[in-house]
Amino acid sequence: MTSRRDGILREMGLAPLWRLRGAAEIEEAPVVEPAPPEPVVRAPAMPPSEMQAVDEATVKPLARFAPPVAGLSSGPPIEAPATHRDVPGDIASLGWDELDARIRACDACELCQRRKQAVPGVGDRQADWLFVGEGPGAEEDARGEPFVGQAGRLLDNMLASIDLKRGEDVFIGNAVKCRPPNNRTPEVSELAACFPYLQRQIGLIQPRLIVALGRPAAQALLNQEVKIGAMRGKLFEYNGIPVIITYHPAYLLRNQADKAKAWEDLCFARATMRRLKHEVEA
């Protein structure tokens, strides 16, 4: 591991709090059942400097898949959304420029009344990685870009810790595109009103992997009740695309002890992505 990554992990509050297990000690992603099994990634024992050697053996081979396939062609079964939701016809045909304009002019819910501007999302429009957060905060509302405040700086460090960078093979968006008052959690009706925009973004990007940051983002994607602690370390599905659930950076700023769990989730996501790419290339 480079000294740069050591510094990033220290900024995330992780080093030297824990260590990553060897490849033989990490379990494959489990089948999701109504009564969740024990979390898949456990307290590590190998130093993070050896993490790259672990990635290739962390999960079983997974194949990239597309709708309407309900699961992976190999590797662990995944949990599908409760119901399939089609993109409304007037949004389903929009290209990027038209979609951004539609989002910025949207008045489908009451969040539009107090926003400074809507925040469509930012990044590589052909990215393999899609990170979905909750909604814009005050600074995001002012600047029109997601994750630019303190939580955004933490997200950038999280990305860097697994060799990713904002805008490079990464797209970042939110479940709702307008700031909820006082940064409260988006209501179900607000998530529902905004979800067609996220659906269309996913359709345009066609990411290999989606990382849901926090409960509202996961609930919007999976269309079901979500408990982060019980659903970490497992693969879910949105329209044939694997979904991994972890904590929102804003939550991690308030709950420092869970940063190590988020790091485990990032390692799991990176290993999953590498396996997905390997299966496509094989």
Per-residue pLDDT of the chain (282 residues; tens, 9 = 90+): 566 666 666 666 665 444 444 433 333 444 343 344 333 333 333 343 333 333 333 333 333 332 332 333 334 455 554 445 677 778 999 999 999 999 999 999 999 999 999 999 999 999 999 999 999 999 999 999 999 989 999 999 999 999 999 999 999 999 999 999 999 999 999 999 999 999 999 999 999 999 999 999 999 999 999 999 999 999 999 999 999 999 999 999 999 999 999 999 999 999 999 999 988 776
**Distance, CA of 263 to CA of 273 (rounded, Å):** 15
100-139: string of b/e by CB count within 10 Å (b at 16+)?
Answer: bebbbebebbebeeebebbbbbbbbeebbbbbbbbbbbee
β-pairing, 209-213 with 122-123? unpaired
Query: pLDDT tens digits for 133-187?
Result: 999 999 999 999 999 989 999 999 999 999 999 999 999 999 999 999 999 999 9
Instruction: State the total domains in the chain.
Output: 1
Domain enclosing residue 73, as ranges: 3-281
The CATH number of whichever domain residue 258 belongs to comes to 3.40.470.10
**What is the pTM (predicted TM-score) of this model?**
0.75
Nearest-CA neighbor of 155 among 17, 145, 141?
A: 145
**Distance, CA of 233 to CA of 257 (rounded, Å):** 17
